[in-house]
């Protein structure tokens, strides 16, 4: 939430300002601009992932899982980008791809098992009879190198900050223009 | 070959934190500049690198740009307590009056000269948070279990 404090010594002018804001001249425009920014941020995030991912041929699971959600439009606007439950279900490695690290619990593995009969001292006569018996569970191989994160969340936040500043400047200019007409 | 601003900044901060770790009695904590180096060794480790650099024209019509690098300080700890301790320690150390900025010259992969050339001024600390916090810690590898990110926006001022 953005809190703005305006200190007006002239009560009459302050009342006019409140009336001006209540006229919704800027409010609806600001709301529309915020919605556009949310769409833009989703697109930006997807573009960063597309541009920086190492294996573009592997599909667009993460890009498709990132979307915007309107959470509240009463007395303000609240938009969420990237529903964590959805991301966990559809693109479980979204955090590792962002921040870098090892892909958890994933990769090549060998099933746990044993050689049967597994005599401690092999019987040379029966050496062909022993066979691999698959048990339960698996042993995962750790990837040799960790993934370099692409920081798509931080990059999108940075872009959003810059765009938000531009929009606030535009709104501010309109508000000042409106105040001049009071 | 002389380093330029990003690598000078990285090397200056690594030197600064390495000296402070020793002075404050932290043992066995490595300060690295690449993710691969962190994963190649043992924990705990602190990874320091320039993530990106914002630029802004110094004056209208001029060709000189002001540079505002974003430095990531990533902590790879062995326990959650250590993660918090190290994060607080890093923030505490950044509150110094002046963070020295050196220019380095490298010859055959070794530092040939290191000259004090300014101060690193921290403009803001934008992120100070646990990393991979939404991923189930049980499935994370030990290197990724207790990670913390501190993101610094800074610029280099004259000495």
Q: Domains in chain B: how many in total?
A: 1
Range of the domain at B92: 5-158
Rounded-to-integer distance, Cα A149 and Cα B74, Å: 12
Q: What is residue A1's predicted lDDT score, i.e. its pLDDT? A: 47
| B53 beta partners | B69
Report, as ranges of residue numbers, the positions in chain A whose pLDDT lies below 50: 1, 182
- Report chain A residues whose CB lies below 8 A from the CB of B49: none
- Report chain B residues whose CB lies below 8 A from the CB of A101: 131-132, 140-141, 143-144, 147
Interchain CB contact of A142 with B (< 8 Å): yes
Q: Do B140 and A148 touch (CB under 8 A)?
A: no
Q: What is residue A26's predicted lDDT score, i.e. its pLDDT? A: 66
Are B71 and A154 in contact by the 8 Å Cβ rule? The answer is: no
pTM: 0.78
CATH assignment of the domain containing B35? 3.30.2000.10
Of A92, A99, A104, the CB nearest to B131: A99
| Structure-derived torsion over alpha carbons of residues A21, A24, A30, A35, reported in degrees to the nearest 10 | 150
Q: What is residue A127's predicted lDDT score, i.e. its pLDDT? A: 65
Shortest distance between the Cα of A75 and any Cα of chain B, in A, equals: 28
Interchain CB contact of A26 with B (< 8 Å): no
Q: What is residue B74's predicted lDDT score, i.e. its pLDDT? A: 95
pLDDT digits (tens, 9 = 90+) for B124-150: 998 889 999 888 888 888 889 999 999
Are B54 and B92 in contact by the 8 Å Cβ rule? The answer is: no
Rounded-to-integer distance, Cα A31 and Cα A114, Å: 64
Q: Do A154 and B141 touch (CB under 8 A)?
A: no
Q: Which residues contact B119 (CB under 8 A, 6 or more apart)?
A: B98, B99, B100, B101, B156, B157, B158, B159
Tell me, letter by letter, the H, E, C secondary structure of B118-154: EEEEEEEEEEEEEECCCCCHHHCCHHHCEEEEEEEEE
């Amino acid at each position: 939430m953005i809190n703005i404090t305006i200190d007006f010594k002239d009560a009459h002018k302050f009342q006019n300002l409140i009336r001006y804001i209540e006229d919704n001249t800027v409010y609806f425009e600001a709301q529309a601009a915020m919605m556009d920014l949310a769409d833009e941020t989703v697109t930006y995030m997807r573009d960063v992932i597309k541009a920086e991912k190492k294996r573009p041929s592997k599909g667009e699971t993460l890009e498709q899982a990132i979307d915007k959600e309107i959470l509240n439009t009463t007395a303000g606007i609240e938009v969420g980008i990237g529903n964590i439950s959805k991301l966990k279900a559809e693109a479980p490695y979204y955090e590792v791809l962002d921040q870098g690290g090892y892909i958890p619990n994933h990769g090549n593995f060998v099933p746990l098992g044993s050689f049967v009969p597994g005599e401690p001292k092999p019987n040379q006569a029966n050496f062909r009879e022993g066979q691999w018996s698959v048990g339960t569970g698996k042993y995962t191989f750790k990837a040799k190198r960790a993934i370099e994160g692409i920081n798509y969340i931080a990059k999108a936040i940075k872009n959003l900050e810059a765009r938000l500043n531009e929009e606030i400047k535009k709104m501010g200019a309109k508000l000042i223009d409106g105040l001049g007409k009071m | 070959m002389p380093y330029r601003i990003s690598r000078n900044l990285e090397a200056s901060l690594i030197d600064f934190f390495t000296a402070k770790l020793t002075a404050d009695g932290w043992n066995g904590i490595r300060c690295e500049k690449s993710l691969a180096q962190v994963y190649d060794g043992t924990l705990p480790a602190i990874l320091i690198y320039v993530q990106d650099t914002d630029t802004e024209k110094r004056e209208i019509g001029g060709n000189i740009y002001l540079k505002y690098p974003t430095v990531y300080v990533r902590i790879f700890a062995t326990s959650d307590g250590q993660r918090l301790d190290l994060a607080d320690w890093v923030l505490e150390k950044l509150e110094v009056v002046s963070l020295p900025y050196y220019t380095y010259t490298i010859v055959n992969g070794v530092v040939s000269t290191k000259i004090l050339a300014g101060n690193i001024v921290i403009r803001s600390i934008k992120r100070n948070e646990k990393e991979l916090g939404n991923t189930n810690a049980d499935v994370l590898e030990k290197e990724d279990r207790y990670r913390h990110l501190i993101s610094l926006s800074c610029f280099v001022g004259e000495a």
